[in-house]
Amino acid sequence: DGGITQSPKYLFRKEGQNVTLSCEQNLNHDAMYWYRQDPGQGLRLIYYSQIVNDFQKGDIAEGYSVSREKKESFPLTVTSAQKNPTAFYLCASSAIPTDTQYFGPGTRLTVL
Amino acid sequence: AQSVAQPEDQVNVAEGNPLTVKCTYSVSGNPYLFWYVQYPNRGLQFLLKYITGDNLVKGSYGFEAEFNKSQTSFHLKKPSALVSDSALYFCAVRESNDYKLSFGAGTTVTVRA
């Protein structure tokens, strides 16, 4: 999992609550990504950021928000608008957007 | 649009036997191809990638993959599987000038002792 940390490892949320997942990297990478993993579906891109103070929606951005105020950090907020948030969330980074992506250990979010 | 297909949900092999995990892809331009491995409740670990050059790519933990342009395939191989190779394997593709990775649904490999 290299120099990418995600916290917490497990997160439980009540319906109607917003929660924020942390992703930090010490690899000096410019680009960072958030993916959602559901069983049998592979990984789907939620948001990505090519550089500080810039980010773009991925394929499934509805109900999620992000910020990129520092190069090292790319937090993901799962809002109450996300209809089915229970999933495994993975953060990744790459030196530049077109380079190999490396992944963090993941956060498992469960909605109660 | 780009896409990846991993036709086998599960692959079962005996320890010491060859292991192959299949992957086919579709992209408009030149493909960059990747293999990742995931152990339970862990993130993805990078195994190897094909960018250009030799069609046979060698990666971590004794794995290799062969790029076949005519068959649009990038199968992952290991000559002699270990029980510790049991995991979920993902193939991914992107176009050479793009950032976006498209992942296959994954193949669960079980190596029995």
C-alpha A11/C-alpha A86 separation (Å) is 10
Q: Which residues of chain B carry a pLDDT beneath 50?
A: none
**A105 vs B contacts (CB less than 8 Å):** 42-43
What's the confidence (pLDDT) of residue B81? 98
Give me A4's structure tokens. 């990418």
Q: Of A42, A50, A94, which is closest to B105 when you measure between CB atoms?
A: A42
Average pLDDT over every residue of A77-94: 94
C-alpha A55/C-alpha A42 separation (Å) is 22
Rounded (to 5) percent helix, strand, coil in chain B? 5, 55, 40
pLDDT over 80 at A2, yes or no: no
Q: Which residues contact B40 (CB under 8 A, 6 or more apart)?
A: none
Give me A34's structure tokens. 């958030």
C-alpha A57/C-alpha A48 separation (Å) is 7
Mean pLDDT of chain B: 95
Q: How far is A86 from chain B, CA to nearest CA, in Å?
A: 14
C-alpha A4/C-alpha A23 separation (Å) is 7
Q: Of A1, A31, A40, which is closest to B105 when you measure between CB atoms?
A: A40
A54 touches B at CB < 8 Å: no
Q: How does pLDDT run across B9-24, given as a tens digit for each residue? A: 999 999 999 999 999 9
Question: How many helices and strands in chain A, by DSSP H and E?
Answer: 0, 11
What's the confidence (pLDDT) of residue B66? 96
Give me B78's structure tokens. 């290991």
